[in-house]
Amino acid sequence: MKRKIVNTIMCERIQQLQKEKGPTYQRIEEICGISPGMMSKYIRGTHLPNSEVVRRLSKLWSVSMEYILGDSNERSLYATNASLIPGDYVNVIAEAIEKGVTADEIRDMVNTIVKIKRRN
């Protein structure tokens, strides 16, 4: 019997996010470049994902790495800057997401908005 080596919060969050957002464990393993069966090991808590796998899961599910790791209850990738974004820009960002703008492009948009707001 394998002994659990990771915190249960991370295990539960990986399982919850996969159920909510998909895709299948097999497809996630392909996307993250990990061996078949590793997702089950992460959920059971017998193996820890490395930082690159956590980064890829974060990007795949559009949640913060801190949320996956159990270090934060805030899912948003942009939680730290959210309060600095004026309300009218929130709609622009939401529209960009709907049009398929990538997470990196949105991050750049948010950072630009925050810089402008801090100057004023």
Contact 65, 32 (CB under 8 A): no
Reported as a single tens digit per residue, the pLDDT across 53-74 is 998 898 888 888 889 988 888 8
Average per-residue pLDDT in the chain?
A: 80
Token pair of 110, please? 């948010």
Number of other CB atoms surrounding residue 30 within 10 Å = 12
Among 62, 55, 112, 59, which Cα is nearest to 85's? 112
Among 90, 86, 88, 87, which Cα is nearest to 76's? 90
| Whole-number pLDDT of residue 78 | 57
Q: Which CATH number fits domain 8-69: 1.10.260.40, 3.40.50.300, 3.20.20.80, 3.40.50.2300?
A: 1.10.260.40
Query: Could you state, in order of their start, the residue ranges of all structural domains in the chain?
Result: 8-69, 82-119
Alpha helices in 45-86 (DSSP H): 51-61, 65-69
